[in-house]
Amino acid sequence: MELVCPAGNLPALEAALEAGADAVYTGFRDQTNARAFPGLNFTDAELERGLSRAHALGRKVFIALNTYAEASKLAEWRRAVDRAADLGADAIIAADMAVLDYASSRHPGLPRHLSVQGSATTAPALAYMHERFGIARAVLPRVLSIQQVERVCDAAPVPLEVFGFGSLCIMVEGRCQLSSYVTGASPNRHGVCSPASFVRWEEQADGGRSVRLNGVLIDRFASSEAAGYPTVCKGRYEVRGEVFHALEEPTSLNTIDLLPRLRAAGVVAVKIEGRQRGAAYVRQVASTWRAAIDSLRGAGPEWAPRPAWQQALAAHAEGHQTTLGPYHRAWH
């Protein structure tokens, strides 16, 4: 299986390559990118350096153009496709059908991967995207059980990639309405769940902090508590007199236990989430997954992840917690 790692900047890209990533995925500094955080992402000059470094090592660089274009601004997404092709990207990762259509007709030699934002969870959906836009790979949303992943792999017309580690989204990606309900800025179009212009941190008298999104209180943190990235889905709310994580706790997906099953299902690539994270995160997580994937080659049914790998991954997880998320659902 291919190891696909995040790169929000050039140091993270270099860390991923040094740690053994087979491919990295990046984005431009604009709204074509679903990780459009201030201070992240690449200029063309930086991408040229990163592509040169990756290709010298025989690795790949995928460029994520994975937000949905506003009808009046579609030309921006088309220019981004042209930039990716001109730079020599190994593939683009896209969700919007208009973007995929333009890429397939204008740059047919540029491989097109269907983004997780495309929300394709069935073989018929994948067949349509393959027949209509010639996708070469698809990334499955993080809402499927392992049994569902196996069934889709059996019938899919294209190779499939799954998320192996990182921040866990509780929604079917590409369909989230929570942040846009609070801010009016859709994460599927504006590139971030909580745009920085809407986030306000406030110091409390007891040394703690509270955070509001467009004026809406979504969490309070004690002075001794690490504050996470403020999203609506991972906030704490008062429900019937009790304050708790009503939708989702801050935790990270970790499927390292399922590696043998994912390989047997035919999954071709494992993706690490975290383009908003730093080079140290990328290096540690990528090197851990590299060791796990390599150790699986030739291993028998007794294969199991090493405790040191789990400890290393837990140290970089949200809330220092990991979960199998929907992968361990009992129903199919």
Q: Which amino acid is at 72?
A: S
Q: Which amino acid is at 205?
A: A
Tens of pLDDT, residues 295-306: 999 888 899 999
| pLDDT for position 226 | 79
Tens of pLDDT, residues 202-261: 999 889 999 999 999 999 999 888 787 788 888 999 999 999 988 887 778 999 999 999
| pLDDT for position 174 | 65
Tokens linked to 316: 């970089």
Domains and CATH numbers, the chain: 2-168+251-328 (3.20.20.60), 186-244 (no CATH)
Identify the burial level of 100 via C-beta atoms within 10 angstroms of its C-beta, where 0-12 means exposed, 13-18 middle and 19 or more buried: buried
pTM to 2 decimal places: 0.90
**Rounded Cα gap, residues 294 and 287, in angstroms:** 10
Q: Which secondary-structure segment (H or E) carries 270?
A: strand 269-272
**Rounded Cα gap, residues 8 and 233, in angstroms:** 23
How does DSSP assign 6-60, residue by residue?
E-SSHHHHHHHHHHT-SEEEE-BSSTTSTT--TT-SB-HHHHHHHHHHHHHTT-E
Q: Provide the residue-wise pLDDT of the chain in tens; the chain has 332 residues.
A: 999 999 999 999 999 999 999 999 999 998 898 887 777 888 889 999 999 999 999 999 999 999 999 889 999 999 999 999 999 999 999 999 999 999 999 999 999 999 999 999 999 999 999 999 999 999 999 888 899 999 999 999 999 999 999 987 766 676 777 778 889 887 777 767 888 889 999 999 889 999 999 999 999 999 888 787 788 888 999 999 999 988 887 778 999 999 999 999 999 999 999 998 999 999 999 999 999 999 999 888 899 999 999 999 999 887 677 888 778 776 55
Identify the burial level of 302 via C-beta atoms within 10 angstroms of its C-beta, where 0-12 means exposed, 13-18 middle and 19 or more buried: exposed
